Amino acid sequence: MLQAALEVEVEAFVEEHAAMLDEDGRRRVVRNGYLPARIIMTGAGPLDVEQPRVRDKSKEAEERIAFSSAILPPYLRKSRSVEELVPWLYLKGVSTGDFPEALQALIGSDAKGFSPNVVVRLKEKWGQEYEEWNRRDLSQEEYVYVWADGIHVNVRLEDAANPKQCLLVLMGATADGRKELIAVVDGIRESKQSWVELLLDLKQRGLKKPPRLAVGDGALGFWAALREVYPTTMEQRCWVHKTANVLNKMPKGLQAKAKSDLHQIWLAETREAATKAFDHFLEKYGVKYEAACACLSKDRDSLLAFYDFPAEHWGHLRTTNPIESTFATIRLRHRRTKGSGSRRASLTMMFKLAQSASKRWRRLNAHHQIVLVLEGRIFTDGVLQNAA
């Protein structure tokens, strides 16, 4: 990311001096390879960075223009998370013209090289990366678990007539337990058609093997789409979303106690104990709070699907937290900003934000058990059952 920013900065500098020509009518200021690689300390550890070199071909030494990077000054030894700040600021609704001031306020004078023109060029370069990533071959990929969600951000997408439009996100866990971003597209969270198009695109690009389990909020159009495209995939509703939805249908004074009762369900060590806690909740609150209990009971089977998978994975499977935690800072909480964002830029920024965050994604617990899940081995209450 830092290397890309340097490339964009140099391109902008060369273009700025494009009108300066030598005696033969050729450009005086041109690219001239790279300076020796330097080690820059970043949050991901030390990185080798090559600063592009610029040459002014003027014969008069005093007329030559020297290039000095404002992004990578001579004695800089630590980069800030610009690769996260730029996407974050965009998705929060900050306009391109305001980026230099915003970045400088966040990371100080190190941001002075990020003029609006550099930011625009950087967005274009990232956009190309996103397009290539969105067409990548998936024939060698297999995901044991996937998490799905729809993210509304502060920036309005181009379709002003459709306020429900958002960014659809799909993440997956690989055979070695690593979490990967699978897809980021625009669509409607509750629309089956939007999710069908996403899943069919993945299948067309080679993702033929269905995930063993999908995790998401019950309100998603994703579920109807999943049953159509990958009908054998089991469904797990997110307990965090479900708990919030149930409690919203109950008096505030009762919510703390009801929440504790809900915890008794999904924290139970066995499906049998969870079923008893489930029945207890419905019996305890069913008469007075019928809507809350109906909200809970309609997804009964899919709320308890995690019991058929390794117990060490339960913490990953009961919630869409892998997505929630990644995009929590840009998820729309109140009203959108006045300015609208381009579809391509919004998708690109979401992609880059997730790409940076993926460096910190935690590998699944007991990832060695994923092979057993992929082999179709049976787990009961999280425990592997011996073959007969």
Task: Pick the closest to residue 85 from 184, 165, 5 (CA basis).
Answer: 5
SS3 301: helix
**CB contact set of 372 (below 8 Å; sequence gap of 6+):** 310, 379, 384
Burial of residue 252 (CB within 10 Å: 0-12, 13-18, 19+) is: exposed
DSSP H or E segment with residue 54:
strand 52-56
The confidence score (pLDDT) of residue 33 equals 82
Write the DSSP string, 202-223. Answer: HHHTT--SPPSEEEE-TT-THH
Domain segments of the chain as ranges: 2-133, 145-380
- Residue type (1 letter), 362: R
By the 8 A CB rule, do 130 and 349 touch?
Answer: no
Give helix 116-133 / helix 82-91 axis angle, nearest 10°: 90
Phi, psi angles (nearest 5°) of residue 249: -100, 15
CA distance 218 to 299: 8
What is the residue-level pLDDT of the chain in tens, covering all 388 positions?
Answer: 567 777 777 888 788 777 777 767 778 888 888 777 765 544 444 567 777 788 887 766 555 677 766 555 443 333 445 666 677 666 666 666 656 665 555 455 555 566 667 777 777 888 888 999 999 999 999 999 999 998 876 555 555 555 556 789 999 999 999 999 999 888 887 889 999 999 999 999 999 999 999 999 988 899 999 999 999 999 999 998 999 999 999 999 999 999 999 999 999 999 999 999 999 999 999 999 999 999 999 999 999 999 999 999 999 999 988 887 777 655 554 444 445 556 777 788 778 877 777 777 889 999 999 999 999 999 999 999 985 4
Query: 294 by DSSP, 3-state: which?
Result: helix
- Amino acid of residue 199: L
Task: Compute the distance between CA of residue 125 and CA of residue 3 in angstroms, rounded to an integer.
Answer: 12
Residue 21: beta bridge partners? 27
Q: What is the pLDDT of residue 79?
A: 42
| Predicted local confidence at residue 283, as pLDDT | 97
- The predicted pLDDT at position 76 comes to 37
SS3 181: strand
The residue type of 146 is: V
Judge contact between 357 and 326, C-beta under 8 A.
yes
Say whether 236 sits in a helix, a strand or coil: strand
The two beta strands, 52-56 and 45-49, are: unpaired
